[in-house]
Structure 1
Amino acid sequence: MPTDALFARWAQRVEIALERALPSAETAPQRLHAAMRHASLGGGKRMRPLLVYASGTLFDADEALLDPPAAAVELIHAYSLVHDDLPAMDDDDLRRGRPTVHIAFDEATAILAGDALQTRAFEILAAADAPAQLRVDWLRTLADASGAGGMCGGQALDIDATGRLQTLDELQRMHALKTGALIRAAVRLGALGGGASENELASLDMFATALGLAFQVRDDILDVESSSEKLGKTAGKDEAQAKSTYPALLGMPGAKAKLGELAEAMREALHGFGDRAEPLAALGRLAVERDH
């Protein structure tokens, strides 16, 4: 099956899984449930769930087994965006072409919606129809990626760096946590579902590390070169807030060269898997070449 059709099918699978996992907006507390659904449904690239399916099916995992971790990682991502957009963080009004949750609802509801999405992600994994040890491994993987040693830690470093120029090493460490940790977790969640060996997990971790950094480098480039309409979020905010970015530190030619290096690192990491890894490779190319 062509990868575009495969990705469309997987995106539909996770949309159905998210729809089932989220409370109805008609159920009390309605405002909170509506905000959770606004944050999670009907938009986004679904890159992280697609990575779960792509890495799991590399090892012939059943797609139904991969539905819970695919939905869980997307709920963690959604919660992080809700909180990231708050006035206390990035103070953004637009996300996925729609008003951010605190604009569509209010700040207090946005905070609660993010909290509830995070806990729902772990509930989904705990209740999954999967062996107990696999559920524990999934829970540990997602917790490690989303806590102070992962995504939250990266966001804290981002806040600490506001108003000052970071070194390239500092910038890469921040994004390895803020963006990369959850991408690495997505790849690992799927591979664990397929029973990957430690050596296979190590190779996939190298791929995911390069992918996470490439995703951020491309984001930085698009923030300069694209429009708010195309991105579905506010363009030009990095420069306006004097944030350290790859184009700011390396220049645009240097940032694009860095992106090329990361693309090659992804290809090398997947080389040993052969043609079976084409869905993962295609997602790597998508991260490098996307225009929004």
Structure 2
Amino acid sequence: MKNEKNIKASNGYVVLGLLLVVIASMIVGLVTIKNPLFLILMAVIILLIKGFFIVNPNSSKVLVLFGAYKGTVKDNGFFWANPFYTRQRISLRARNFDSERVKVNDKIGNPILINVILVWKVNDTYKAAFDVDHYEEFVRVQTDAAVRKLAGSYSYDNFDDEQEQITLRSGMDEVNEALEDEITERLAIAGIEVMEARIGYLAYAPEIASSMLKRQQAVAIVAARKKIVEGAVGMVEDALLKLSEDDIIDFDEDKKASMVSNLMVVLCGDKEATPVINTGTLHS
């Protein structure tokens, strides 16, 4: 038997009624006939009592008889089965697993901190009970292993690898899908169904976080400066064109260069410009 087998156990209330009849018969026999042989029924009563069990909603009982798997009861209610069965309870409820933050290296070797949030449940009770030891611990260990493998397959970002289209930081949908596929493959041996897997925390390791922050700030500053320069060039070009079209003033090349320089300083500078009033002539 390599797969789960669903079985129907006997109705516990019916067997309980029979048990009450046996108890009543024993008491009547002892009181009226006073035959000690009726005490033999005590062993039967004890065996019958041992066979009762309860299955709660979204739970199950795996039944084993002397080392042989007999089946799994998934229906909830009050049941009775062979009293020699050993019964293992396995929950079928969905469970959350928030892994610890682990330090791993990304694709290009940067140390990062990452953890995963996993939603899972038992789908095959036979595999969960007999194919692995302690399936809950198996889920934890294999999830950590999947996270480590995933982190080594992608770069944290594309600052160092501009050709990388999908990164841990920017490609969350693709990365989470890859993570879920990896965990699903690893947990299939234990009969575990992965309902959702996604990265819950992602950051550079503390020893490089400060340096990486400065690098990100530098990249942002360069990008902002580039936009400022592009805008300033357009504004200067428009200004010169407007002055020329309206015939406000004629510039020679030297004055044009001087004006362009002054406008670029004003538009691209970090501080507000200080106006200077020219009290002489334009060419003085």
With normalisation by structure 1, the TM-score equals 0.24
Structure with more strand by fraction: 2
Q: Which is bigger in relative contact order (C-alpha 8 A, separation at least 6)?
A: 1
Could you say which structure has the larger radius of gyration?
Answer: 2
